[in-house]
Structure 1
């Protein structure tokens, strides 16, 4: 599925994941996290409780409350340095999580990485998978440090905690969201090193990433892996590939997948039909898109608001404006509001055909929805009313020509 050249290209990345202990050593040397207090001015010091000489015994819960009450997260590091030097320092997962979350608020991601190394060396408590998933979320979603999230996943055994497919899939999805497509396969191939058995969700994430980077044929290869792994693809699996095909102007291949779904006994849903209707419209095959809607209804698949909007765009592209008006009426009756763009296009169509009454209907409907016509639309409406020489309930002809 992935060429050998890609594996060679990313050899350095694999080494960074599995053999980069020097990364943490250099990080610890650069920071004073374990060896000295964090530098802060005397004015800042007054805002931090002095716990170095605090004689009362502090339980883990009391320590957590101290961090939770800390108003400025930038003081988290010096405070933790004080506490970690005390004789009653007995951290647990809750304390580590609290400190890490506070450091995340301060956007001090270097300190988080150093703290993670300190935790590994201390081995004070057993950490859950949820703890590591939270750290990976902070790295990936807040810090933009995708590599750090990957390293956290693969270094979990160093903390005597083995990841499951849950944390593995989280990192895969993180990579897809960050569009780091060349790295996804590297991480995917590392599942066996962690003793992880991939599941259907893993394959779906791979398909999503491959489709987004345009490797549709590779996505089909992953689809073929489902029966080999004793998994059953879902409707979302097929819809993802269909979306990739339609985006690249291959709606016929997408319909081939629809036939395959039905043969496998997987019922398409409204999202599936929406993708296909939109794909036909993008390819200029609007009449087929409208017919597909009829086929959808006959099959007993309930349309959703997206379905109605896609069919409406097909009618508008086909310049069937009177039918579009009737369809909009049906949408409104079902509580589905047409988009502003729909009103803009249908008004332009009515104006081109001098259907003044229909122009007024569309204008009233869009204002009821809270849409405000723009200046260009107003000019087009006025031109239509003037050229039609027809009295309007909105603009009397005398007022228009006299203005």
Structure 2
């Protein structure tokens, strides 16, 4: 049993922190931080709230270690969760991640306060997002019961998402199977993360097996579940299967959103099924989903790919009226196609629209335009072409 008296605390191996390179770095302090350190050397009693205010006022994040050292020597030493978290966040911003390891060891030995799930959620975020130390994020998750704190589903899912984002799918599966030991209740978000990971590594069959797990845990898949699966199907040129999934969604009263429709429109466009993409654009509006610029842009690319320039021109005009700017690539492909078909009048329109939308034709494009127009009219003058 570890005594919590002040004298015993000083016997804990705290020099791990104070003698570390992080501590050496922290000895160079700003004028403001020096004033804070001087305040901690005073014998005036400080409440935990006052100490936290001092910690949050530091201009140099690495000075946090020095504050901890001075505070731990005071008789009013009473650290709490906000104080510890403030140190960890500051050390994270200073990239002093080894010092965070030492501090976590110290907290576990001191046991001065109870720590909440939110505390560990933030520590895991520092390890995973700021430090890139996924292994430490996993260790922190597994160590939570040693701090008398059990992870929430939210914290558990954070670790799963870190692993999936890092493409560590086998490790993600191991963590997933540890949920019962950690007392974590699997939810729809957790299964969605697994589906995302399996789709990303091309294991579509396994992803659909996870879809079958939803009823077993008394959860309903949501639109994000289906959009992830549909994206994977479209990437694997299984657009018809994606539409079958859309039908299943709607039968189950799960309504598609704009993101999902965009995935399907993009899938149709890649297969050259532009007519269906146009119909889907209209359908999404009937379903109450507002198309985004990318919704229109995908259909526009499909029309250009199919060399349906008259329809593409109409869509571009419609987009501009709606305040949506067609992409530079759209204009480039449009002009190349119109020049190829010797549609000089439409080339003139496309160039003017392009300039009005803030794009500048490049030299190669001008050469193509001039070559096309000159072949139609040897007396062509560029200046008069642009002012018509």
* Structure 1 equivalent of residue 308 of structure 2: 320
Q: Name the structure 1 match of 2:246.
A: 258
1:33 aligns with 2:37: no
- Greater Cα offset, 185-194 or 268-277: 268-277
Residue 312 of structure 1 and its aligned partner are, at CA, apart by 0.7
Are residues 293 and 54 of structure 1, via their aligned partners in 2, closer, same or farther at CA, if it must alter by over 3 Å?
Answer: closer
Matched residue count:
372
2:7 is matched with none
The one-character-per-residue Cα deviations of 1:199-236 (angstroms, maximum 9, x if unpaired) are 11111111111111111111100111112222221122
Q: Where does 1:202-241 land on structure 2 (aligned, <5 Å)?
A: 202-241=190-229
Bigger shift: residues 218-227 or 167-176: 167-176
Other-structure match for 1:137 = 125
User: In the aligned structure 2, how far is the partner of 1:68 from the partner of 1:300?
Assistant: 47
**Equivalent residue number for residue 21 of structure 1:** none
- How much has 1:394 moved relative to structure 2? 6.1
Map 1:352-391; keep pairs closer than 5 Å.
Answer: 352-389=340-377
Q: Distance in 2 between matches of 1:233 and 1:43?
A: 54
CA distance in 1, matches of 2:386, 2:157: 68
Checking the alignment, whether the CA contact within 8 Å between 2:16 and 2:102 is kept in structure 1 is no
Corresponding residue of 1:60: 48
Shift of 1:294: 4.7
1:244 Cα deviation from its structure 2 partner = 0.7
Across the aligned residues of Structure 1 and Structure 2, the Cα RMSD in angstroms comes to 2.8
- Report which stretch shifted further, 99-108 or 291-300: 291-300
Distance verdict in 2 for CA 1:66–1:358, change over 3 Å: same
Greater displacement, 64-73 / 352-361: 64-73
**How is 1:193-342 mapped onto 2 (pairs within 5 angstroms)?**
193-296=181-284, 301-342=289-330
Q: Distance in 2 between matches of 1:379 and 1:259?
A: 49
Q: Is the 8 A contact 1:140 1:146 kept in 2?
A: yes
1:219-274 deviations in Å (ceiling 9; x for gaps): 10011111222222112211110101111222222122122223223232332222
Unaligned runs of 5+ in 2: 1-11
**Residue 175 of structure 1 contacts residue 184 of structure 1 at CA under 8 Å; is this kept in 2?**
yes
Is the contact between residue 27 and residue 66 of structure 2 (CA under 8 Å) also seen in structure 1?
no
Whether the 8 Å CA contact 1:270–1:302 is kept in 2: the answer is yes
Alpha carbons of structure 1 residues 192 and 352: separation in structure 2 relative to 1, 3 Å: same
**Secondary structure, counterpart of 1:372 in structure 2:** coil
**Paired position in structure 2 for 1:165:** 153
Contact 1:290 1:315 in 2 (8 A): no
Check conservation: 1:51, 1:83, Cα contact below 8 A: no
- SS of the equivalent of 2:17 reads coil
1:110 aligns with 2:98: yes
- Distance in 2 (CA, whole Å) between partners of 1:398 and 1:346 is 17
Q: 1:283 deviation in Å?
A: 2.8
Q: Does 1:69 align with 2:54?
A: no
1:125/1:398 CA distance change after superposition, 3 Å: closer
Q: 1:378 to 1:284 in 2, by over 3 A?
A: same
- Separation in 1, partners of 2:15, 2:246: 57
Structure 1: gaps (5+ residues): 1-27
Distance 1:268 1:40 in 2: 53
Taking the aligned partners of 2:96 and 2:170, their CA distance within structure 1 comes to: 28
